[in-house]
């Protein structure tokens, strides 16, 4: 059976709707009942990041050289971000919060999400999980990655000021929040999220549009921003590009272009 122009290799239903896995031209993709791709994996290179927005979410590595303690991921999907962190940061311990158990099963069965002692997957609503732990998990994480979308858009439970305030509380002083946002800068949903981020993180925020896509990746830095300059970032971007085959120099160029009002809050002259 074919769907979304590809071969349908899995279809299941849960209380939240349809989960489909489609293969086309060597790429396996995850869908939640629409043509929109939620996650993707190269069949011949399962460890490579197939989607442009996921590659762009790695831009946090420009500002943090190591990740040797704890990270929290809200929203699993096919597990691309989770697998990337496990593969490249062997000393990192990950907690992933995913609201749909069926999605976790499909990530295991069809997208090579590993069983790993460093990985803990929790079935819960990501927004509720974070808000409830703002005090008990205070200053616990060095990195938080939020990619919580369904077939309709950004999950409602993370679309509020309280969620972003809780993220700020749960990050260490030098922690970074990375979030996948949708829509152009004139989109009301994006504008609201940008305002919530700015208020929670004292405007130490940067935004990076995904080339050719509608996604915008947000970066928020806690009370101790990274001690970096544009010169040091250029050198790091070149080194990261060579190591990961991802265009980090272009990320840096776009960060500088799109963040004239907040760049000085994060980067030294």
- How many CB atoms sit inside 10 A of residue 108's CB? 14
The model's pTM is 0.95
Q: Is 75 helix (H, G, I), strand (E, B) or coil?
A: coil
Predicted confidence (pLDDT) per residue in 168-222, tens digit = 999 999 999 999 997 767 788 889 999 999 999 999 999 999 998 889 999 999 9
Q: What is the dihedral of CA 134, 32, 179, 233, to 10 degrees?
A: 140
Give the range among 22-26, 29-33, 155-159, 248-252 with minimum mean pLDDT.
155-159
Cα–Cα dist 36/3, whole Å: 12
Computed on alpha carbons and rounded to an integer, the radius of gyration of the chain in Å comes to 18
In CATH terms, 52-266 corresponds, of 3.60.15.10, 3.90.78.10, 3.40.50.11540, 3.40.50.150, to 3.40.50.150
Cα–Cα dist 63/44, whole Å: 31
Share of the chain above pLDDT 90, in %: 86
Residue bearing tokens 């309280």: 162
Cα–Cα dist 149/93, whole Å: 23
Cα–Cα dist 243/241, whole Å: 6
Residue spans per domain, the chain = 2-42, 52-266
35, 229, 219, 36: which is closest to 143 by C-alpha?
Answer: 219
Predicted confidence (pLDDT) per residue in 204-216, tens digit = 999 999 998 889 9
In this prediction, residue 152 has a pLDDT band, given cuts at 50, 70 and 90, of low
Q: Is 98 helix (H, G, I), strand (E, B) or coil?
A: strand
End-to-end CA distance of the chain: 57
- How many CB atoms sit inside 10 A of residue 49's CB? 22
Q: Is 20 helix (H, G, I), strand (E, B) or coil?
A: strand
């Amino acid at each position: 059976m074919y769907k979304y122009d590809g071969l349908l290799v899995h279809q299941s239903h849960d209380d939240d709707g349809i989960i489909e896995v489609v293969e086309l031209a060597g790429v396996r993709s995850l869908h939640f009942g629409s043509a929109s791709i939620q996650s993707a994996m190269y069949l011949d290179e399962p460890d490579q990041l197939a989607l442009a927005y996921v590659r762009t979410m790695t831009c946090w590595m420009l500002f943090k050289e190591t990740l040797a303690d704890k990270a929290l991921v809200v929203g699993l999907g096919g597990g691309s971000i989770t697998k990337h962190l496990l593969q490249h940061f062997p000393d990192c311990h990950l907690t992933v919060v995913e609201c749909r158990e069926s999605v976790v099963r499909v990530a295991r069965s069809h997208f090579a999400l590993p069983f790993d002692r460093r990985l803990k997957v929790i079935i819960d609503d990501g927004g509720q999980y974070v808000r409830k732990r703002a005090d008990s998990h205070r200053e616990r994480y060095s990195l938080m990655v939020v990619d919580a979308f369904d077939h309709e858009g950004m999950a409602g439970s993370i679309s509020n000021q309280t969620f972003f305030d809780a993220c700020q509380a749960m990050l260490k002083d030098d922690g970074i929040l990375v979030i996948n946002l949708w829509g152009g800068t004139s989109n009301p949903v994006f504008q609201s999220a940008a305002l919530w981020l700015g208020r929670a993180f004292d405007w130490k925020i940067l935004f990076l549009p995904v080339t050719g896509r509608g996604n915008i990746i947000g970066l928020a830095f806690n009370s101790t921003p990274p001690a970096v300059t544009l010169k040091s970032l250029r050198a790091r971007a070149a080194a990261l590009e060579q190591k990961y085959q991802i265009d980090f120099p272009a990320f840096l160029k776009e960060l500088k272009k799109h963040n004239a009002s907040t760049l000085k809050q994060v980067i030294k002259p």
